[in-house]
Amino acid sequence: MCGNSASIEQLVSDLKTSLPAEPGVDIAVFPPTVYLGSVLSGLAGSPVAVGGQNVCDQPSDGAFTGEVSALMLADIGCRYVIVGHSERRAIYGESSEQVAEKAKQALLQGLVPLVCVGETESQRDEGATLDVISAQLKPIFSALSLEQLQSIVIAYEPVWAIGTGKTASPSQAQEVHAFIRALFAEKDQQLAKGLRILYGGSVKAASAGELFAQADIDGGLVGGASLDAQEFSAICRAAE
């Protein structure tokens, strides 16, 4: 929940000048809902896609005051949406079952859901990281068909590394990413090979190259660093 009209307009302008015209990777930005329209307009014709930070877990129409449906996001031109971000899980109590339903609603409207999973510091200290990840993904496997699973993106965000300045070491991140891919391989080998798994724990330009060099890290879900166009552009280049 950052920015205002002026700062976001400036950031969009800076992104357009700092990013390559034809990047070798997929790039998407996720502004606050009230600024989606202006960002979509500002990035029209650029290689940068736009997505929502959250979506309702209910069907497209109904009495759900304050919610934004997948149909609404798709209608204005969004291509992606984040579901299950650690802040939504921790602050608003969203369950993994709700996250799975949000992903399903997004897919039904042609959006690509970025499904976030990750452990807290205490869970890591207890050696429960992989169990937590498995439990968070179980409802996804139950709610989505094999065809639908082929259209999602997973983002591993160790909660202890978000906004703290801490970053999982490349080997720590790779271990979890490899585990996630193995879970998908149990469903289908080709599904696992094509799955994109992003790392989302205080990604910075200085650490991006080494992280993205890991076998099972396919890109980043960038937080605070995305508010600096030059830093964000450097991260995008590291992923190429």
Is 163 known to sit in a ligand binding site?
yes
Statement: residue 68 has pLDDT above 80: yes
Mean pLDDT, rounded, of the chain: 96
What are the chain's domains?
Answer: 51-239 (3.20.20.70)
pLDDT, one tens digit per residue, over 131-149 is 999 999 999 999 999 999 9
Catalytic residue among 85, 94, 101, 177: 85
Is 224 known to sit in a ligand binding site?
yes
Catalytic residue among 119, 157, 177, 231: 157
Statement: residue 111 has pLDDT above 80: yes
pLDDT, one tens digit per residue, over 5-14 is 999 999 999 9
Active site residue 85: yes
Pairing of strands 112-117, 219-220: unpaired
Tokens of 9: 């307009």
3-state secondary structure 28-55: EECCCHHHHHHHHHHCCCCCEEEEECCC
- pLDDT tier at 201 (50, 70, 90 boundaries)? confident
Is 223 known to sit in a ligand binding site?
yes
pLDDT, one tens digit per residue, over 136-190 is 999 999 999 999 999 999 999 999 888 777 778 999 999 999 999 999 999 999 9
Active site residue 177: no
